[in-house]
Structure 1
Amino acid sequence: MRVLVVEDDEHIAGPLAEGLRRFGHEVRHLHEGGQAVAFAREADFVLLDLGLPDLDGHEVCRRLRENSSVPVIAVTAREDELDRVLLLQEGADDYVVKPYSLRELLARMEAVCRRARGNRRCAGEREPGCDGAAEDEDGTDAGAGRAVRRYGPLVVDARARRATVDGRAVELTRREFDLLAALMSDAGAVRLREDLINEVWDTNWYGSTRTLDVHVGTLRGKLGHRQWIRAVRGVGFRLALPGAA
């Protein structure tokens, strides 16, 4: 796998690159965030340090997500929960807090790639879904891959990873789209919190379950109405048409 290590400290980047190469990865070391944005399309994975000399790591993460779907793990020395939540909202797939072990980093990279299965930039596989899926009478596609799902004015195209509401494109991060797709897979039914976390963040997720609530809140805002996603206290969430009971 082609890995970009974006780290301005040679004492950290050197041993990290050597360790990754021992496990068969092709490593390119960059010192600045602007370089990461420029070269992201040539990589399968980005390890992004937040303390860069030219751009704040949060800004780099946002720019990467504007132009690329490459998986990103942020490397931070900050232990503040809000800071880590912001990273995830801005498009990071995961994070590690310094100091960390190579074993932990490799495990997190593997987990991110499992979640990104179907994303050619990471797993080298064709995206799931089927071409030319038909729609049945209630507006839900009848093809086996169910590439396109409709629920009222909401349309989710899993193969293109695109969502629209009343024809308006909804700009989503990778994690937000995965969460919406998980809710859309059984629209109207309650999805358990544990199931959503396992499906969207992987069963090896180490973080706080509060992350799910943060992503739900952000997703509601982007869909244009809080009632798109209803909370069932102590149980989970369900997709619902705004204004419906």
Structure 2
Amino acid sequence: MGWRQTADGRTVVEHDWSTDARSGRAIQEVLAQHVDTTCRLPDSIRRIAGVDIGFEDDGATTRAAIVVMDPADLSVQDSVLVREPTRMPYVPGLLSFREIPAALVALDRLSTLPDLLMVDGHGIAHPRRLGVATHLGLACGLPTIGVAKKRLTGQYDAVPDTRLAWTPLTHRSETIGAVLRSRVRVKPIFISPGHRIDLGTAIDWTTRTLTRYRLPETTRAADRLASDRDRRRAAAARN
């Protein structure tokens, strides 16, 4: 495992992605010490992106979708969908080792890198503080936010049934995220810093990208691209 400086000044970690569970946990313990939860966003955010990663072929293929948007109006500026062989079997708590290699390939295929990644998954709201959003941030050197549909770890009080209300998500006396009510009478979502961002900024950007749906437009668009939902709906409408 080592660190590398990219041509555009990003500091990224490099390590073996095809590893066993014990080695993976050891890598997580080391990487967790390098997570930065202070805001490192540029003064001007010109591009934000949603990232969705899933699996096909009974897990043999990893699918990564990235949709880049203009933060002013959430219009799509770029998108990419890649499929890569899955390098590691599923191990609880080590999902990022399965998911991130394909996401890095997708990032490399974008015409321009975004300033901020919003990832469908957890950031530091992870037992070892290294969910997929955090791990991806360390691997690509970009600020990341975790936007998850379900809790992985931690405790929280009931969230008021008011849009944009939230309560802290805590674990071992540490605040690791926020449980946010994105829609009234709809289950909340779980927001956590990934890397190079703080919780307040993570909440702010999540609320900025919410429309009338439960999920922010960034990760919702990436999920839609990954599932090819729009094409299938159009085909169904023609039949």
Give the TM-score normalised by the residue count of structure 2.
0.31
If asked which structure has higher relative contact order (CA below 8 Å, sep 6+), I would say 2
User: Which structure has more strand as a fraction of its residues?
Assistant: 2
Higher helix share: 1
